[in-house]
Amino acid sequence: MPALLIRCGSTTRGIRSRWSNVAVPSEPMSSVSEFQTSSTYRALANALPLNLLIKAADGRRVFANDSYLKWRGVTWQELAGKHDEDLFPPEIARKYREDDQKVMQTGESLHSVESAKLADDSIGWIERVKTAVHDHHGNLLGVQVLFWDVTAKVEEEKATQFEQSLLKTLLANIPDSIYFKDIDSRFIRVSHAMAMKFGRASVDEVHGRTDADIFTPEHAEGARLDELRVIETGEALVDRVERETWPDREDTWCMTTKMPLRNDTGEIIGTFGISRDITDLKRSEAALHEAVRMADAANRSKSEFLANMSHEIRTPMNALIGMADLLSQTKLDPDQQDYVQIIQESSNGLLRLINDILDFSKIEARRLELESVPFSLGKTIESTLRSFSFKASEKGLELQRDISPELPDRLIGDPGRVRQVLTNLIGNAIKFTDHGGVRVRVEVLRREERADRDLAATHSGRESPERDDMVELRLSVCDSGIGIPPAQQDAVLNPFTQADASTTRRFGGTGLGLSISRQLVELMGGELHLQSEVGVGTTFSFQLKMPVCPASMPNEVDDEEEDLGGPARQRLAPLHVLVAEDGVTNQHVIAGLLRSLGHKCSIASDGRETLTKWRSESYDVVLMDMHMPVMDGLEATRAIRQEEWGTERHTPIVALTAAAMSEDAAACREAGMDSYLTKPIHSRKLRDALAPYQRELPPADDGSHEETLEQAFSPAAHLATEQDSTTINAAHAAFPSLGSTSDAISLSPENIGCLDLDSARSRIPGGTAGVLRLAFVFRTECAQLVDQLSNEIPAGLNDETRRNAHTLKGACGLLGAKQLQEAAERIEEAGRENRVQDSPELLADLQHEAQRVLRAIDELLSQSDNADQPK
């Protein structure tokens, strides 16, 4: 606070000199006559950045420096000798005079900050100091007044006080926890809510403490590390969800933000943050998650039930349709022909309904898988339109196609599902159109270059092209039919919904077709759009992005049976294949498939054995299961690639996995695998996966032929393949020939739901005998795996449990043991999540289902023994 106090002494001579120029009574001047002129004093006073005024004891102005004169906007001649009453209003002049009298009487300085008119005539604030002036004899001469502008300082202090008031109000009332900490993470200020959360009566009880005084050591240590990171980096941690652990109460949850606390120079001096309690929200989320899980499980159960029922109904329906077709070819009278035609039409309608329900259930249960095979979209559209040509001609409708010339010859996708969508859309268009026609249009929106090679997009081990390998299409089906009212356009894409739901509607159907089409389009990465106008027509359209098939990739035969067997397209050199698979049942099936395709096969039961056999013998291809004991398939692949490094040797490795997810593809690619096959493995997929590694042979002219499926699965074949496969050899010894067992195998009512014999017989080589052999092998493996799981689950061995449950799950699928397969899948998931020890009910379910399956297998094998007894 600047001030200038002028007292008696040598410098007072300058004051006297200045005063001598003023007409004042002679009495006081005698005491200051020695002060004539003092340039030193005037220079000092005028150099001050303060306003200086000296008044005589009677109130006359006897000196003012230049700053004062400039402040008041006057000259000294105008000011000299004037009293306060001559310059200010009476009230102000009286106050100034009273202040002067008090200073002169008491000898004490008077210091104040007050509002005043500033030099620019605005109202501001000045800081004023008044002191008495004496001569060197101690005689009172008058009053010295110093003042200066402090408006900025006062306004800043008022703003600071206002901000402090705002902060205090905020901290006192906000329900969230706000805190400020020093560099050592001690609380220097907290909100009232935070003090209450800490169980303290006031905020003062929190100041100076750290998290270690409040939370458990684990939580306090984590919070300190976070704050050190914020201090070191200067970067905030925003919206972090934290679990707060307390020494004397249940854990809570909060969402917190932590930021660096900086001073005016930008230096970090601590941290500050805000957190909100979200404990109730986390509990609600957990409850909602559980409710969603239960609803999802219930929905899956419903869908699985519908899928199972639809599958069961299809079997007798296929027989019914087949018999009706055969009956229609016999000699019938006209009435009988009508009856048979009605049976055929009704059967086909019922089969379409069952197929719709089956597809809908698979989609809901997330079990519908899409193929990725080469196909011609143009040919698919042509064949679909041909199937509707008769129905369209009956109604006098014209079927048109408009296919862009830029459409590639072949794409990679699922032709069956594309055909199903087009069939639904074209069928609906014809059904609801009486005049005009239906047009299918294909537009090429763009071709896209893609530089990466994605293993998940490869087909049977072949790499996708690097450039120009993606095309985006728009497919449209337009009709000139009755149209759909705007209010009903959204609803028709929902399941079991039709635009006309009245009892007098002209058109039948389940209302599932469009819903299934919409979901299939979404599964293929598109979206189904609808445009319609009543009386004008309707257009359904969807966009798909599909890979362009390279010229080197062979065509797929779409209608070929995707199962065991199938004729060879060309003669290819056989391969020596090493199969790395720990499941005995899967070993049996894969070995038979390889033999049926003409390949030589060796078996390894874990990754370490695979590595040993690969080192000791040369193999053309390795089929590598991803999940195996001792050393899994990924680790074994990495070991093989490591040993191949720097050599010319490269053994193609094809992964065997139960789920073709993107993470599986990435793991395979990173480990060094060339491609992968998804289980269950079919003959066609296996053949195509191995074809790139075979060389073509010239056509055979010596009458030789490939080995049949029965020969491939004969005891001699397996003995030649694996001498150490005791269980497989025993299976062939038990069922040495096809003719020795009855084809009419069945199960009693209490066991009928444990195995799907019809499905197994349609897929397993050798018919009934093949099923019995597989059941024999499976029984031993199943019992062994269940025994191992019964020991591993109580011991909390999550990795071993997951691996053995995975093996059991894959084996169950071959015989259609669905309930046991699902129980194994639940245990596999628990092992993956490290919670097997906390789920004892899963083991009980597994043991229960395993007992049922083993009883069914025993009944099955005992029937075959009885059937073989001499009559």
Pick from 559, 868, 572, 561: nearest CA to 739:
868
End-to-end CA distance of the chain: 127
Kindly tell me the sign of the dihedral angle through the C-alpha atoms of 820, 825, 826, 828. Answer: positive
Fold of 174-277: Beta-Lactamase (3.30.450)
The pLDDT, as a whole number, for residue 461 is 43
CATH code, 373-547: 3.30.565.10
Share of the chain above pLDDT 90, in %: 18
3-class SS of residue 496 = coil
The distance of Cα 283 from the centroid of its chain, to the nearest Å, equals 21
Both tokens of 803, joined, read 């691996």
Q: For the chain, what is the mean pLDDT?
A: 77
Query: What residues contact residue 420 under an 8 Å CB cut-off, 6+ apart?
Result: 359, 516, 517, 520
**Pairwise CA distance, residues 593 & 765, whole Å:** 9
Phi, psi of 816 (to 5 degrees): 70, 30
* CA geometry: angle 78, 79, 85, nearest 5 deg: 115
Q: Is 80 exceeded by the pLDDT of residue 637?
A: yes
**CB neighbourhood size of 642 (10 A):** 10
Residue with the larger pLDDT of the pair 735 and 613: 613
Window from 243-247, 471-475, 717-721, 816-820 with minimum mean pLDDT: 717-721
Pick from 38, 3, 31: nearest CA to 17:
38
Most confident of the following: 388-392, 511-515, 765-769? 388-392
List alpha helices for 722-766, DSSP H: 726-734, 757-763
Is the whole model's pTM more than 0.85, yes or no?
no
**Pairwise CA distance, residues 632 & 655, whole Å:** 11
Q: Is 60 exceeded by the pLDDT of residue 155?
A: yes
At residue 500 the predicted structure's pLDDT band, cuts being 50, 70 and 90, is: very low
pLDDT tens per residue across span 68-122? 898 888 899 988 999 999 988 899 899 989 999 999 999 899 998 888 777 777 8
Buried b (16+ CB within 10 A) or exposed e, 378-410: bebbeebbeebeeebeeeebebeeebeeebbeb
- Show me where the domains of the chain are located: 12-151, 174-277, 287-364, 373-547, 576-695+705-723, 735-868
Report which residue type is found at 230: V
**Pairwise CA distance, residues 444 & 264, whole Å:** 62
CATH class of 287-364: mainly alpha
> Options 1.20.120.160, 3.10.450.40, 3.40.190.290, 2.60.40.10; which CATH number does 735-868 get?
1.20.120.160
pLDDT tens per residue across span 8-46? 333 333 333 333 333 333 334 334 333 334 677 788 888
Pick from 778, 780, 772, 777: nearest CA to 729:
777
**Pairwise CA distance, residues 864 & 746, whole Å:** 10
CATH class of 12-151: alpha beta
pLDDT tens per residue across span 672-682? 998 878 766 66
Q: Is 60 exceeded by the pLDDT of residue 723?
A: no
DSSP 8-state class, residue 754: T
Q: Is 50 exceeded by the pLDDT of residue 355?
A: yes
DSSP 8-state class, residue 568: -
* Strands 187-190, 177-182: pairing kind: antiparallel
Would 174-277 and 576-695+705-723 be classified into the same CATH topology?
A: no
Q: Are 581 and 623 within 8 A, CB to CB? A: yes
CATH class of 576-695+705-723: alpha beta
Q: Is 60 exceeded by the pLDDT of residue 442?
A: yes
pLDDT tens per residue across span 750-762? 777 788 776 676 5
The pLDDT, as a whole number, for residue 741 is 40
